[in-house]
């Protein structure tokens, strides 16, 4: 199945949002659906219309080392004119502003549902598709608008606010393919991972296991996840102060327990009751302290404790995914480039969509060569895809990308990684020490100096 077929499948999964079905990507049909669904379609022809601008947002995510006007030229996005003149750099920020963030968010959300489910269904564990949920932060350009909208991390009266404003990102990932199934984005100062979780838990499919870290240990999240569908299960780690009452011994270090629902949780959701049940599994790995897992999978014969311990440690896959985004895709940039809040959101959704496109190609390659998707190198795949974006536009536009991706898969088949070595351990450590110097705050420029700088300039 080609990329264009997949994108058409995304559209057909949401018929209420579209007016026609087409199987071709050429001409930007799938992008047009996103624009129509969000009311952003360009009515009159512009030098950089909405459908072309959405390609630009994807190009910004893939080709991070280029200035935005170079991305426009590389992707051949400017409409042809008799003089052959390229689109003016000053036209790019208004084009991005007209597009907004909603079409990109819609496109990511709808495609993520289809792509993640497809891979998760093929990589089930004992009949359950395996997902992980976790959060991270991303720094954004330090402008008054971004700081007012997103806020930063407060470090006390002496050090003040963080040097950059930040957005908070919580993502749901199909752990065995790394494909994102959903995401929530909000300002750092006005949200928390827990407050953003309910939106994502509604996207967890039936017959699934969701692995979370202990930060999400709350009946408000876990019980609601379990009761919101059919055969939806969870697995997490207990905190050091988690109080539980033993109800029944199931095996060595394995028992059925009862936990109390806090008064705060009861006030937010009276249907939770005063207690909730879970299965407790105590284990210890060589060189580490003893740990306790909690899960809704109560049957020790159907769900062996040893396998659940191994399953919990697959949770780190989502951390690897965040590293792939920040270190490889964003190339350890100090911050995102967009200067205004909606531009930041647009950029983030574009990055997540581009990440899934890379992962989707890797999953196809893995199927061709008969290995798990995690055995394909993300770094090499990303580099080759970047090359394809450059090469495909020497003589043709972005509409020809799918056929180039087909050839790319043949090259990626040579990029199979060796099997993982579980005996290796990399404990968490501080890699960069925070500076003791006072933070330098931006100084407002005179109005005349700001005139030439637009949204997303480098």
Average pLDDT over every residue of 432-449? 59
- Residue 199 to residue 155: CA distance in whole angstroms: 29
CA–CA dist 212, 133 (Å, integer): 5
Most confident of 14-18, 269-273, 382-386: 269-273
Task: State the DSSP code for 75.
Answer: T
Contact between 347 and 187 (Cβ < 8 Å): no
31 near 55, Cβ under 8 Å? Answer: yes
Q: Can you give the pLDDT at residue 12?
A: 33
Residue with tokens 């991303």: 138
Radius of gyration of the chain (CA): 24
pLDDT in tens, 338-386: 999 999 999 999 999 999 988 988 888 888 888 888 888 888 888 887 8
Nearest to 413, CA basis, from 369, 374, 375: 369
Q: What is the pLDDT of residue 318?
A: 93
| pLDDT of the residue at 10 | 32
Provide the pLDDT for residue 401: 54
Is residue 291 pLDDT above 70, yes or no?
yes
Percent of the chain with pLDDT strictly greater than 70 = 70
pLDDT tens, residue by residue, 112-154: 998 899 888 888 999 999 999 999 999 999 999 999 999 988 7
Give the model's pLDDT for residue 66. 77
**In this structure, what DSSP letter does residue 257 have?**
E
Spell out the domains of the chain, with CATH numbers in brackets. Answer: 3-103+342-412 (no CATH), 104-322 (3.90.350)
In Å, what is the CA distance from 457 to each residue of 38, 51, 153, 169, 195? 26, 21, 25, 23, 33
Q: Tell me the per-residue pLDDT of 229-250, one tens digit each, with 9 for 90 and over.
A: 899 999 999 998 999 999 999 9
Q: Is residue 103 pLDDT above 60, yes or no?
A: yes
């Amino acid at each position: 199945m080609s990329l264009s077929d997949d994108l058409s499948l995304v559209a057909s999964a949401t018929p209420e949002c579209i007016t026609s079905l087409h199987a071709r990507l050429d001409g930007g049909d799938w992008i047009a659906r996103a624009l129509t669904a969000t009311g952003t379609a360009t009515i009159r022809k512009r030098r950089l219309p909405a459908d072309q601008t959405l390609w630009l947002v994807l190009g910004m995510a893939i080709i991070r080392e280029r200035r935005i006007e170079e991305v426009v030229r590389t992707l051949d996005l400017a409409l042809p004119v008799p003089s052959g003149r390229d689109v003016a750099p000053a036209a790019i920020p208004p084009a991005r502003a007209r597009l907004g963030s909603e079409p990109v968010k819609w496109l990511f959300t709808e495609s993520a549902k289809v792509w993640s489910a497809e891979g998760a269904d093929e990589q089930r564990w004992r009949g359950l598709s395996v997902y992980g949920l976790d959060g991270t932060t991303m720094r954004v350009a330090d402008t008054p608008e971004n700081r007012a909208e997103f806020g930063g991390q407060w470090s006390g009266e002496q050090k003040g606010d963080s040097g950059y404003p930040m957005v908070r990102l919580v993502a749901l990932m199909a752990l065995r393919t790394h494909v994102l199934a959903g995401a929530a984005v909000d300002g750092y100062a006005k949200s928390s991972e827990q407050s953003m979780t309910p939106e994502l838990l509604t996207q967890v499919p039936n017959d699934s296991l969701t692995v979370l870290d202990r930060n999400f240990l709350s009946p408000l999240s876990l019980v609601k996840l379990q009761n919101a569908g059919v055969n939806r299960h969870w697995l997490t780690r207990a905190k050091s102060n988690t109080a539980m009452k033993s109800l029944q011994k199931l095996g060595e270090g394995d028992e059925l327990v009862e936990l109390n629902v806090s008064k705060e949780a009861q006030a937010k959701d009276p249907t939770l009751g005063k207690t909730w049940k879970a299965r407790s599994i105590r284990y210890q790995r060589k060189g580490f302290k003893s740990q306790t897992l909690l899960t809704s999978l109560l049957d020790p014969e159907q769900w062996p404790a040893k396998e659940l311990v191994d399953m919990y440690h697959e949770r780190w896959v989502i951390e690897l995914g965040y590293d792939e985004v920040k270190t490889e895709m964003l190339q350890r940039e100090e911050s995102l480039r967009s200067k205004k809040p909606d531009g930041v959101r647009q950029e983030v959704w574009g990055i997540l969509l581009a990440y899934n496109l890379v992962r989707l190609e890797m999953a196809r390659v893995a199927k061709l060569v008969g290995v798990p998707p995690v055995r394909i190198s993300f770094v090499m795949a990303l580099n080759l895809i970047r090359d394809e974006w450059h090469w495909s536009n020497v003589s043709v536009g972005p509409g020809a990308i799918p056929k180039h991706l087909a050839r790319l898969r043949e090259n990626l088949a040579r990029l199979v990684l060796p099997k993982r070595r579980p005996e290796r351990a990399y404990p968490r450590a501080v890699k960069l020490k925070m500076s003791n110097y006072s933070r330098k705050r931006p100084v407002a420029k005179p109005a005349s100096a700001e005139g030439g700088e637009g949204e997303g300039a480098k």
